[in-house]
Amino acid sequence: MEFTSRETWTLIHGLVLGTFFLVAFAGGLAGLWSLRREYVTDAGIVERLRRLKIGTTAMALAAWATVITGTWIVYPWYREGLAGDDLSGCEGLSVPGDECSPRDFLLSNASGTTEDWHKFGMEWKEHIAWLSPMLATLAAFLVFYYGASLADNRTARRLVLVVFTAAFVAAAIAGLFGALITKTAPIT
Amino acid sequence: MDVTELHEIDRPTGPVAAAILATGIGAFTLGLLTTLSEASENVHDFLEFSDDVGPLAGKTILAVVAYFASWAILHVLWRRDNRALRPILVVAVVLVLLGVVGTLPTFFQAFAPE
């Protein structure tokens, strides 16, 4: 059992960083939700706030790392033009190959009607993913700036929750399309 | 959501306003460049900062520069101010939504030349 360099980077981009992002989101969400004066003591707020700062920072860093590796390492392999203008290099194939990149393969409709996976799925994924790190960074900044007052300030806590969840939704859209596109046209 | 509660902090609200508005600016820049790249071949070619990545390189680099640069500038300008957060939030939400629409293929592909 072995992975090519491209498969390894695809795994790092989608699975390793994606999982890290998910765990950080789950932890951050639970931490934010329960950071209320009526639930915890002063000492508890200090401890929870420390975890919240770590969680939101980790999520922001994971989001930046995911979009940077995705755009600058994995995406060039996806979009290589290998099959020619008429995409004839993909003829008869059931998966992308040496003369047919994943993008060529999807656009060629060589194995069913697949072009919309590129024209809608990939086109949206590659752009909307970049909103996630901006929103996640904002959420982390708000946690650091409001600090312990988040426990008393319900509106500030809700604002962080909304921004934090929006960052997750943007990443989830990108991640879902990424998984489905990789299933249809894997990078090997 | 009672936005006035956001002002209940013993620090200026200017840095909060700067961070929120910068996120809107970054998102809007991405959506705008995505749509312009589809509509104009000149813009498309200009945004190809990298042959391997194509115009996505320019769109994302410029959007990230707009995000961090606007954050830095607004932060310096507003760091000691108490800015009203409601209008900033409204503008930022509108900018983010426009950014999302601008990145939606159904929208930006409508601007592609025939």
Residue spans of chain B under pLDDT 70: 1-2
- In DSSP terms, B54 is beta-bridged to B50
Give the SS3 label for residue A100: strand
What pLDDT band is residue A34 in, cutting at 50, 70 and 90? confident
Q: Is residue B7 situated within a structural domain?
A: no
In angstroms, the CA A51 to CA A48 distance is: 5
The complex's ipTM works out to: 0.94
- In DSSP terms, B50 is beta-bridged to B54
Domain positions in chain A: 5-184
pLDDT at A10 over 90: yes
Domain count, chain B: 1
C-beta neighbour count of A40 within 10 angstroms? 16
List the single residue in A134, A153, A159 with the smallest CB-CB distance to B67.
A134
Q: Is residue B53 situated within a structural domain?
A: yes
Give how far A168 is from chain B: nearest CA, Å. Answer: 14
Q: Is residue B52 situated within a structural domain?
A: yes
Mean per-residue pLDDT for A8-35?
90
Tell which wins on pLDDT, A155 or B17: B17
Give the SS3 label for residue B47: coil
**CB pair distance less than 8 Å for A127 and B30:** yes
Tens of pLDDT, residues A75-109: 999 999 999 999 999 999 999 999 999 999 999 99
Q: Is residue B3 situated within a structural domain?
A: no
The least confident of A16-30, A56-70, B60-74 is: A16-30
CB–CB of B23/B96 below 8 Å?
yes
In angstroms, the CA B39 to CA B43 distance is: 8
List the single residue in A72, A155, A163 with the smallest CB-CB distance to B2.
A155
Question: What's the domain range around B20?
Answer: 14-101
CB-hemisphere CA count at 13 Å for B94? 6
Q: Is residue B114 situated within a structural domain?
A: no
In angstroms, the CA B34 to CA B44 distance is: 9
pLDDT at A1 over 70: yes
Using an 8 Å CB-CB cutoff, list residues of chain B that contact chain A.
1-6, 8-11, 15-16, 19-20, 23, 26-27, 30-31, 34, 50, 52-54, 56-57, 59-60, 63-64, 67, 89, 96, 99-100, 103-106, 109
The residue behind tokens 């300030």 is: A153
In angstroms, the CA A163 to CA B94 distance is: 14
Tens of pLDDT, residues A106-128: 999 999 999 999 999 999 999 99
In angstroms, the CA A170 to CA A132 distance is: 5
**CB pair distance less than 8 Å for A159 and B100:** no
pLDDT at A18 over 90: no
What is the pLDDT, as a whole number, of residue A41? 86
Whole-structure pTM value: 0.94
Q: Is residue B108 situated within a structural domain?
A: no
Q: Is residue B32 situated within a structural domain?
A: yes
What is the pLDDT, as a whole number, of residue B1? 64
Give how far A96 is from chain B: nearest CA, Å. Answer: 18
Query: CA dist A110 to A79, A80, A117, Å?
Result: 16, 17, 13
